[in-house]
Structure 1
Amino acid sequence: MLHKTELEYDANNHLFLDAYHDDAQPYLGLLIDIHGGGWFRGDKDKDADWATRLAQLGYEVLVPNYRLTPQVFYPEPLRDMDTLMTWIATSDFNQMPIGVVGSSAGGNMAVELAIRYGVPAVSLSGILDIDDWLTQHQAVEAAPGDLDRFNQQSSAAINQTGSNDAFYKWFVLNYFNQRTDELSAATPVHRISATTGPLFLANSLAEFVPTSGVLKLADALTSVQVPFVLNVLPGNRHAKGYLDDIFSQITAFLATYLIDQRPKPQLATE
C-alpha cells in the first residue's frame, strides 16, 4: 500500500516535504524529487505523479517544498536543498543510498546536488545553460510565457510551441532578481569535477529549454570521466511531458548507480 506523509525539514523557514513509500515493496533507496516551476511557481504537490510512480517501484521518495521568488532569489533555493541534505543525515533515512531527480528548475537543482554531494541525479529539461546563453541572447526582450496551467502536474502543456527565448530569459533573470554578477557561479558546467555524481540528462530538441545545457554538461562530464546518460528527444515536449518515453531508462540508471553507493559487505576474517 502506498503511503504519503508530510514532514517538516526546516523549522526556521517552515518548509515541508511529502514522503512517499509503498510498504509492499522492498526499499531500493532514497530519492529526492525536486519539482519544477522556474523557481517562481509550483510546490511539492506538482510532483505527486512522478513520486508515486517511483515509490511504487520500491523507492522512498521525498518531495520537498523550497522557497521561491520573489520571497528569495538565487542561491536560497539551493541552500534549502543543503538544509534538506543535513536533515536527511540526521533522520531515519540516513542509511539509504541517495539519488535525486528533478524537472526544469528542479533539474538544475538535481544537477547541483550531484555536484555538491556526489549523488546520482536525473535532470529532465534542466535549466543548465545560464551565463553563456544570456550573453548570446542580449537582444532578446524578456517576457513571461503562458502561465495559466503552470502548476498542473504534467509539464506537457507549458510553452510547447517550440523555442521561447523571451520566456527563458525572463524566468532565469527573475531567479537572479535581474542581477548578472552571479550568473557564472550559478552555471553548473563550470563546477563539474571527478567527484560529481553520475548524471542522466534529457531534453527535447525543439522545446523552450535549449539543448546547449545538456550538451555542454556531457562534454564536461566526459573530460573528467564521470558516467552519464544523454537522451535528446524529438519534438518540443518539456520535462515530465516526455517522462513516459524514458521512464524505463531512468529506472535502469537509478538501479545501477544507487546500488553502487551501497556499502560493500565485509569479508569475515579468521
Structure 2
Amino acid sequence: MSKIAVIAGSLYLWLSPGLTMGQRTSGLIGVPDTSFTVHSAYSKAKKTHPDIRIAAPALPPTVQANLNVVYCNQNGRDLHIDAFYPVNQSTNRNQLPAVLLIHGGGWRSGDRSQQIPMAQQLATNGYVAVTAEYRLSTEALYPAAVHDLKAAIRWLRTNAREYNIDPDRIAILGCSAGGQLAALLGTTGNRKELEGTSCHTEQSSAVQAIVDVDGVLAFIHPESGEGDDSRSTSAATYWFGASKTEKPKLWHEASALTYVDKSTPPILFLNSSVDRMHAGRDDMIGKLNALGIYSEVHTFADAPHPFWLFHPWFEPTVSYTVNFLNKVFSKK
C-alpha cells in the first residue's frame, strides 16, 4: 500500500469513528465547509430585504466571557465552547438558569461564533449562555453531532458550581440545523442509544426547555424539503451518509417528532415565512397539547430563513426567548 493510501486511511478513521449502518463517506472531506457565514447569509437575504442589518452588538459591560473552553475530547479531537454570564455571578447566592446555543449551517457549515450575539443578550438577562462547537458532516456523520452536544449539556452540569448554574434549569436553543438538533436533544434526554460514550457520562443530558428557531421537527414528512438529491447531494443526505429512501430509519431516528412523550419539556417555536423549515411543527404541537405540555409559536411574516442573524428580527427573537424561558423557569 502506498504512503498516500495509508495517510488517507488514517484520516478516514479519524474522521469517522463509530461509522455504522452502511453510511456513505463521500461527504467526509476533512476540511471545513465555509459556505454558510453571517455575511453570505446577509448578501443573499439583502436581495429581497434591502433594509436588514447584521446583528452584532458589542459585549455588554454587565457580561463576562470565558472563551475557547474544551468541553469534550472525541477521539483526539477537542471540542470548544464559549461561555457568557453576568458579571460577579459567583457572589450571587441564587443559581442561574443556563442555555446551550447551537448554530445552523445544514449540519455541514457554520460555527459557534454565529450564536454569540444571542448568547450575550441572554447573559444580559441573567442566563449563563454557552455556544458550542460540534462535529459537522465534513468530519463525522450522524449521530456524532448529537453525541457532542449531549456531552455539552452534561458539561454544564459538571461545571454548575464554577458557573453558578442551576442544574435543574437548563435550556437548549438552536437555529436552523441547530434548531433541529435542539429539538432532538430536548426530546431525547438520557436516551442511551443517542448519548454517546464520551465526556461527563455521570451527568444527565436532559433539558428543561427547548427553543427551536426554524428547525425541522420531522425529516420524512409531507412538509419537509430535506433530502432532495435530484440536483446534488442534499445537506441532510451528507449528514446521514444515506438518502431517506436508503436509510429511512436514521431519518426517523433524528426527528424530534418521533420522541414526544410526557417527559418532553416546554418548547418555543420561532419561525420564518419559509414553511418547510419547520416541517412537523403542527403535528408536534398537537402531541404536546394532548399531553398538556406548554408550547408557544411566533412567526415572523415575510422573514428570510436566517432571520435571527439580522435586524429587525434579532431583538424580538431575543425578547420572545427571554420571556418564554422566564415563564418556564419561574415555575420550577
Instruction: Give TM class, smaller chain.
Output: 0.7 to 0.9
| Structure 2: distance between partners of 1:100 and 1:8 | 19
| Structure 1: distance between partners of 2:226 and 2:317 | 31
Q: Based on CA coordinates, which of the two structures has the bigger radius of gyration?
A: 2
Question: Among 4, 11, 31, which residue is 2:73 paired with?
Answer: 11
Of the structure 1 ranges 57-66 and 124-133, higher mean CA displacement relative to structure 2 is found in 124-133
State the partner residue of 2:241: 177
| Structure 2: distance between partners of 1:259 and 1:138 | 40
| Structure 2: distance between partners of 1:90 and 1:11 | 15
Letter in 1 for 2:64: H
Give yes or no for the alignment of 1:112 onto 2:184. Answer: yes
Report sequence identity in percent. 21
Letter in 1 for 2:242: Q
CA contact (8 A) 1:114 1:198 kept: no
- What 5-or-longer segments of structure 1 have no aligned partner? 145-169, 262-270
TM-score by structure 2 length? 0.64
| Structure 2: distance between partners of 1:110 and 1:125 | 11
State the partner residue of 2:104: 36
Question: Among 210, 216, 237, which residue is 1:121 paired with?
Answer: 210
Question: Among 159, 166, 188, which residue is 1:95 paired with?
Answer: 166
| Structure 1: distance between partners of 2:180 and 2:144 | 14
RMSD of Structure 2 on Structure 1 (CA): 2.5
TM-score by structure 1 length? 0.78
Shift in Å at residue 82 of structure 1? 1.6
- What 5-or-longer segments of structure 2 have no aligned partner? 1-60, 190-205
Task: Give the secondary structure class of the aligned counterpart of 1:53.
Answer: helix
| Structure 2: distance between partners of 1:111 and 1:247 | 18
| Structure 1: distance between partners of 2:226 and 2:73 | 40
Write the deviation string for residues 131-161 of structure 1: whole angstroms up to 9, x where unpaired.
Answer: 12498888772448xxxxxxxxxxxxxxxxx
Question: How many residues are treated as equivalent by the alignment?
Answer: 235
State the partner residue of 2:148: 80
> Which residues of 2 match residues 81-230 of structure 1 at below 5 A?
81-91=149-159, 92=161, 93=163, 95-96=166-167, 97-115=169-187, 116=189, 117-133=206-222, 141-143=230-232, 170-180=234-244, 181=247, 182-205=250-273, 207=274, 209-230=276-297
Write the deviation string for residues 71-121 of structure 1: whole angstroms up to 9, x where unpaired.
Answer: 111111011112112222221345342111111111111112321224201
| Structure 1: distance between partners of 2:284 and 2:139 | 30
